[in-house]
Amino acid sequence: MRKERHQRLLKRGIITPEAFRDAERESSSHGRFLEEILGDRGVPRHELLFCISETYNLPVVEYREDLLISRSLLKRLDPERLKRSLWVPLSAAGDKAEVIAYRPDDEGVAAEIRSVLGVRDIRFLAALPQDIIRIIENNQDLNPGFPPQAGRTPLALVRTFLAERRSLFASYRTSLARGRTGLSFIRTGISFITIGIVLFRVFGSGYPVIADLLLVGAGAVMAVDGLIWYLPARKSGQTRFNCIPTEPTCGTTVLAADDPEGNPIFRRTPPAGGAAELRAGWDDLSPVMRRRFLASDRTDLAEERTVLACYRSIMARSRTGLAFTRTGVAFMGLGIALLRQFGAGPWRAFDILLLLAGICMTLEGFYWYLPGRTAGKEGFSSVKRAGQMRSIWNFAFPPEIGTGPVRCFSGPPVRPSHAPGIWATTGLALERTLLAERRNVMARVRTVMARSRTGLAFIRTGMSVAAVGFGLLVYFGAGGPAWLAINLFLILSGVLCIADGLYWHLPAERLRRQFPYCFGDMEIAMPDYGRPGRCWGKAVFSHDDI
């Protein structure tokens, strides 16, 4: 059948019988269409179309971007099944349908069409197999060779899943911030209680005891209120997040989401065949094909923002742990001071309880901190890697090679056949991608600043620990080898915490200063899609303008 369909090529000497048989063998061994291989070997496309038209005595159709299937008809079809069967309907009404097919003489294909479309009368048009697949992919909103997950609608669904996850992270961070506020209440309340009890132990009973009781009562109310705020945050703090991102590949793979019972799992599809070459030839892509790549870029940017939000959430949890540690250190210091000041007595149990509570809180706080330390390292590395990766602008406006002056072209690459609306829509897609990238830059800044804040929290914790040790050493003296060892341990631990906090804070501060979002003035690019990005104008706004 193949030889009959391509007899014209052999009769006209366009291809030799040996070359034709070699192409057939390659088609069978590699699973490629024979017409595609013949085209690669120099057979003109119009000759292949003539072969199909003469064989079936039917008009032929070529792929065009404006050759669209009605949405109501497309909903009833399985695109992947159509690709395997190599037919696609143009219209179906009543008992009649107009169908493009590669093998219109195949009774199995005709029976499948009648079954799927529910028609009896079929008007066939012929087409090359690769054209039929491109027509189907174009109606799926796919670039050539890409999986169904690369359509703009599935990608928009993935971005919605990612946005929902970022909202959960934001809610989680808000809960932790509430928990840290509760810990401040607890520290203040315990301070009131301790002051009231110490005054009572020093001055005894009498009229001043009313003030002591008021302090103790107010402290108890604040401690209970803080505990009510803190406990939900502690419960949410037990959540474990997986912040490991997939590896973006500049649009050659697609981020997809599997949704097992409402908990999406994100993964990368295998690389699409020829996608890298397609992306590299950006200037040769149609506007629709560009918009599909841009949709994939925005999805990759959304994934990066989500991963950075995950890192910030874990660092927020670590800061809550450090706040808990500082509360525990304050309790420990008070317990030790009361034990050494008053010695044995009826209040000794209270002092020991205060000391033990402080130890437990300190240990739990450090337990919360350790995952945050890992997240801080990974988040900082992720920000630095992002600055070294290629972006959409490397394809849309590649930098010129050479040392001469930068040339800024004035006109967009518009062909006479392109309708203005097509380029306007593509320009808006570029605009959305630019805004998405700008949000990512700000997300990177927030991640760096979160690392810096976490470092500062560690410094505060270290200062609290060192201050407790130093204060005990100055007030009570050495007090024996055991007490001296405890004091020196607290001082040394605090100094190490301060040094580690500086190690976190200083690099983050240097990187933060590289971004304009941290200053009073803000620059906003004024896009001109007919010019390279480095030639776009800028509008500068200050606080006086806002």
C-alpha triplet 237, 238, 240: angle, nearest 5°: 100
Between CA 129 and CA 83 the distance in angstroms is: 9
Residues 452-488 pLDDT 10s:
888 888 888 888 888 888 888 888 887 788 888 888 9
Between CA 139 and CA 132 the distance in angstroms is: 11
With respect to residue 534, please indicate whether it lies within any of the assigned structural domains: no
With respect to residue 537, please indicate whether it lies within any of the assigned structural domains: no
From 140, 172, 198, the end of a domain falls on: 140
Residue 358 has pLDDT above 90, yes or no: no
Please give the average per-residue pLDDT across 175-189, as a whole number.
85
- What is the CA 307 to chain-centroid distance, rounded? 5
- The structural domain count of the chain equals 3
- Identify the H or E element spanning 131: helix 129-139
From 93, 115, 140, the end of a domain falls on: 140
Which two structure tokens, joined as six digits, stand for 542? 């200050």
What per-residue confidence (pLDDT) applies to 546? 42
CB atoms within 10 A of CB 43: 20
Residue 2 has pLDDT above 60, yes or no: no
What per-residue confidence (pLDDT) applies to 523? 62
What per-residue confidence (pLDDT) applies to 404? 42
Which two structure tokens, joined as six digits, stand for 413? 């690459």
What per-residue confidence (pLDDT) applies to 283? 78
Which residues have a Cβ under 8 Å from the Cβ of 541 and sit 6 or more positions away?
Answer: 521, 522, 523, 524
Please give the average per-residue pLDDT across 185-194, as a whole number.
83
Residues 107-153 pLDDT 10s:
999 999 999 998 999 999 999 999 999 999 988 888 988 988 999 88
Least confident residue range of 27-36, 400-409, 464-473, 520-529:
400-409
What per-residue confidence (pLDDT) applies to 525? 65
What per-residue confidence (pLDDT) applies to 336? 84
Q: Do 50 and 64 belong to one domain?
A: no
Between CA 384 and CA 448 the distance in angstroms is: 10
Relative to beta strand 537-541, strand 522-526 is antiparallel
What per-residue confidence (pLDDT) applies to 408? 43
Residue 409 has pLDDT above 80, yes or no: no
Which residue in 332, 312, 272 sits closest to 296, CA to CA?
272
Which residues have a Cβ under 8 Å from the Cβ of 465 and sit 6 or more positions away?
Answer: 329, 490, 491, 493, 494, 497
With respect to residue 538, please indicate whether it lies within any of the assigned structural domains: no
With respect to residue 396, please indicate whether it lies within any of the assigned structural domains: yes
What per-residue confidence (pLDDT) applies to 128? 93
Highest mean pLDDT among 116-125, 260-269, 359-368, 370-379: 116-125
Please give the average per-residue pLDDT across 4-28, as a whole number.
87
Whether the CB-CB separation of 199 and 212 falls below 8 Å is answered with yes
What per-residue confidence (pLDDT) applies to 135? 92
Between CA 254 and CA 272 the distance in angstroms is: 9
Residue 524 has pLDDT above 90, yes or no: no
Residue 249 has pLDDT above 60, yes or no: yes
What per-residue confidence (pLDDT) applies to 420? 47
Q: Do 445 and 358 belong to one domain?
A: yes
Q: Do 161 and 209 belong to one domain?
A: yes
Q: Do 14 and 35 belong to one domain?
A: yes
Buried residues in 377-402 as b, exposed as e (16+ CB within 10 A): ebbbebbeebeeeebbbebbbeeeee
Which range of residues forms the domain containing residue 115? 60-140
End-to-end, the C-alpha distance of the chain in Å comes to 74
CATH number at residue 66: 3.30.300.160
Which two structure tokens, joined as six digits, stand for 274? 């020829």
Whether the CB-CB separation of 468 and 332 falls below 8 Å is answered with yes
With respect to residue 145, please indicate whether it lies within any of the assigned structural domains: no
CB atoms within 10 A of CB 474: 9
What per-residue confidence (pLDDT) applies to 85? 92
Q: Do 247 and 158 belong to one domain?
A: yes
Sign of CA dihedral 232, 234, 237, 239: negative
Residues 196-222 pLDDT 10s:
887 887 777 767 788 888 988 999 999
With respect to residue 477, please indicate whether it lies within any of the assigned structural domains: yes
Between CA 157 and CA 132 the distance in angstroms is: 27
With respect to residue 187, please indicate whether it lies within any of the assigned structural domains: yes
- Confidence at 372, pLDDT banded by 50, 70, 90: confident
- Confidence at 299, pLDDT banded by 50, 70, 90: very high
Residue 341 has pLDDT above 90, yes or no: no
Q: Do 163 and 251 belong to one domain?
A: yes
- What is the CA 535 to chain-centroid distance, rounded? 29
Residue 522 has pLDDT above 60, yes or no: no
Between CA 369 and CA 317 the distance in angstroms is: 7
From 29, 57, 85, the end of a domain falls on: 57
- Amino acid in position 279: R
Torsion of CA 81, 85, 90, 92, to 10 degrees: -80
With respect to residue 526, please indicate whether it lies within any of the assigned structural domains: no
What per-residue confidence (pLDDT) applies to 61? 92
Residues 420-442 pLDDT 10s:
454 456 777 877 887 888 888 88
Higher-scoring residue by pLDDT: 546, 354: 354
Between CA 464 and CA 331 the distance in angstroms is: 11
Q: Do 269 and 338 belong to one domain?
A: yes
Burial of 472 from C-beta contacts in 10 A (0-12 / 13-18 / 19+)? buried
Q: Do 303 and 347 belong to one domain?
A: yes
- DSSP-derived secondary structure letter, 91: E
Between CA 53 and CA 57 the distance in angstroms is: 5
Q: Do 3 and 124 belong to one domain?
A: no
- 389-398 contacts, C-beta under 8 A, 24 or more apart: 389/248, 390/250, 391/297, 391/437, 392/293, 392/294, 392/297, 392/433, 392/437, 393/533, 395/250, 395/279, 395/280, 395/282, 395/293, 396/282, 396/430, 396/533, 397/531, 397/532, 397/533, 397/534
Q: Do 100 and 215 belong to one domain?
A: no
Sign of CA dihedral 505, 509, 515, 516: positive
Q: Do 393 and 464 belong to one domain?
A: yes
Residue 402 has pLDDT above 50, yes or no: no
pTM: 0.74
- Tally: H helices and E strands in the chain: 17, 7
The overall longest dimension of the chain from CA atoms, in Å, is 122
Q: Do 423 and 274 belong to one domain?
A: yes
Between CA 44 and CA 46 the distance in angstroms is: 6
Q: How far is CA 124 from CA 5, 48, 115, in A?
A: 17, 18, 16
Residue 447 has pLDDT above 70, yes or no: yes
